[in-house]
Structure 1
């Protein structure tokens, strides 16, 4: 086993970890925006915003790490994926910009103007989540590559499958947002979040089932990876674990527990992410480019690995500290103004 293999694999896991942490930490944040219009009362909306105010603007750190790491560690993959995904990526960035600006400006305007910024916050959240899911679907369905460059068209990303993954991610983020509110709020707002969590859980399970059924039909290699023997021994635990976590989540919602629904929802995301990794590995551009073919020179990856080894633990430490300091329930009297 060569050093090049080891370093490329390590970097693949680093980027996968960064993307997953972003999904975990910004997913419930986007989910709150997706659900925002369902809370028409100003007091409820203020509590929703305050529940995430101390941590929301640090979540995109992981998105930058994932994108920057992809460009530096796997430049060929970056050069192929970005032209294929320009439209959904630009849409995602526009959505995130609207969210960030709306978050700050809604506190500094009149009531009529605030309603406009509330709409921008909700719309930006839906747009960003939908664009991320569409981009994921576009990658999974395959990207046309000739030589070392993208060979497809401007609209290749837009297919029924990519729309399915986009809607699925919106439903998943909304579930994270609802269970976050269960954990962070009290009273009528918490009760409404419980009711939404039930609906969104079944929506997410339906989405997981639909994507899982559709994926093997995209390419024969996906079907072989999941269903061929002896791969079945390694892949079968994933759907079994999804079923177990689902039962636990249903029980926690029925018992009206505060913390378990959120963390069990994160477990569903983790299992879905593991399924995505099973489908794709070792390809970074599915069916076209492996992580070793896309890797930058070994010296470059080693140099960057030193920086990541220092920075990632620091980022994790201050992020954990921020969540610890602002733990507990949020009331309408406290928070961000």
Structure 2
């Protein structure tokens, strides 16, 4: 490992884990957000059955990224957790309620409506909390001598509320395009009808956040002005994905809308990284400031070399096994 920057390697691993979680778990959170708007109970059955075999595997990336972050960048935990205790608690509580609603909804007849609500509210709260955390990361934290000195609710501002609602809209868009891919008949027709509206909501929030970000983060504003020719490549590619997504929905294509929705998220994520790099605890601390000892990074890296291929293989295998359409009246069991 001599000559390699282990901190850069770990930054790439954590970054990969984060985007994999967002992409993999985003569409099933999105289906939960859309749940109360489904046309009927049969549609809700199709929505849940389309993700029931894979949702827990999707969350593997959250565990993988969180564990890696703790070991490789302990400063992130020592600052982010005190700053975001309430937001992280809301996210985890939402994920727990959503998780238990899967099995209980399948088994409960009399109280199914309560588990429908748990699935919806759990998904919505988790998605909002994740978006708010992203907004808090953009606006930065009150840190002195590597210690968080702000309040418990400093993360909750009008800007973070907007980013929370924006991520909810983005996840709902992912969910709608996933449903286009996995359903048919009146369920698919409903997904086709709501996808353009959700895309418009995402683009509106994207535009407002882009205008607001330089006002809440001076370092991002400086980065945008200094490297305008590079950073704006990502928004342009994201807009290209949005245009192709809209056109593919209007042409009633099935796979391309979901792929373009994933592309929209990927390029937005890369734009965020480019705007902050190499800062990991804004406004001042870089990945090298936050890194653990090289010996610790090397020890964990040996394990990750084996774990990541296994997780990727399992993910690919599960999606392959449960490929194809989910039909009304059919479950995954």
Using structure 2 for the length normalisation, give the TM-score. 0.97
DSSP-derived class of the 1:287 partner: coil
Specify the alignment match of 1:9 in structure 2.
8
1:208 corresponds, among 206, 209, 223, to 206
DSSP-derived class of the 1:328 partner: coil
Specify the alignment match of 1:58 in structure 2.
57
Specify the alignment match of 1:174 in structure 2.
172
- Could you report, residue by residue, the CA deviation over 1:185-243 in whole angstroms, capped at 9, with x for unpaired residues? 00111010011101000111111111111111122221121122xx1221121122122
DSSP-derived class of the 2:332 partner: coil
The answer as to whether partners of 1:98 and 1:120 remain within 8 angstroms in 2 is: yes
The answer as to whether partners of 1:47 and 1:330 remain within 8 angstroms in 2 is: yes
Q: Which aligned pairs between 1:72-91 and structure 2 lie closer than 5 A?
A: 72-91=71-90
Specify the alignment match of 2:304 in structure 1.
308
User: Distance in 2 between the 1:336 and 1:143 partners?
Assistant: 44
TM-superposed CA distance for 1:42, in Å, is 1.8
Specify the alignment match of 1:278 in structure 2.
274
The answer as to whether partners of 1:8 and 1:295 remain within 8 angstroms in 2 is: yes
RMSD value, Cα = 1.4
Tell me the number of residue pairs that the alignment of Structure 1 and Structure 2 aligns.
333
Specify the alignment match of 1:49 in structure 2.
48
User: Distance in 1 between the 2:158 and 2:232 partners?
Assistant: 27
User: Distance in 1 between the 2:235 and 2:124 partners?
Assistant: 28
Q: Which aligned pairs between 1:238-257 and structure 2 lie closer than 5 A?
A: 238-257=234-253
DSSP-derived class of the 1:336 partner: coil
The answer as to whether partners of 2:39 and 2:190 remain within 8 angstroms in 1 is: no
Cα 1:3–1:141 shift into 2, 3 Å: farther
User: Distance in 1 between the 2:22 and 2:2 partners?
Assistant: 30
Specify the alignment match of 1:92 in structure 2.
91
TM-superposed CA distance for 1:3, in Å, is 5.9
| Gapped regions of structure 2 (runs ≥ 5) | none
Specify the alignment match of 2:121 in structure 1.
123
TM-superposed CA distance for 1:320, in Å, is 0.4
Specify the alignment match of 1:39 in structure 2.
38
Using structure 1 for the length normalisation, give the TM-score. 0.96
- Could you report, residue by residue, the CA deviation over 1:60-95 in whole angstroms, capped at 9, with x for unpaired residues? 111111111111001112111111000000000110
Specify the alignment match of 1:186 in structure 2.
184
Q: Which aligned pairs between 1:261-272 and structure 2 lie closer than 5 A?
A: 261-272=257-268
Q: Which aligned pairs between 1:205-244 and structure 2 lie closer than 5 A?
A: 205-228=203-226, 231-244=227-240
Specify the alignment match of 2:291 in structure 1.
295
The answer as to whether partners of 1:4 and 1:298 remain within 8 angstroms in 2 is: no
1:27 aligned onto 2:23: no
Specify the alignment match of 2:66 in structure 1.
67
The answer as to whether partners of 1:179 and 1:261 remain within 8 angstroms in 2 is: yes
1:329 aligned onto 2:325: yes
User: Distance in 2 between the 1:181 and 1:305 partners?
Assistant: 37
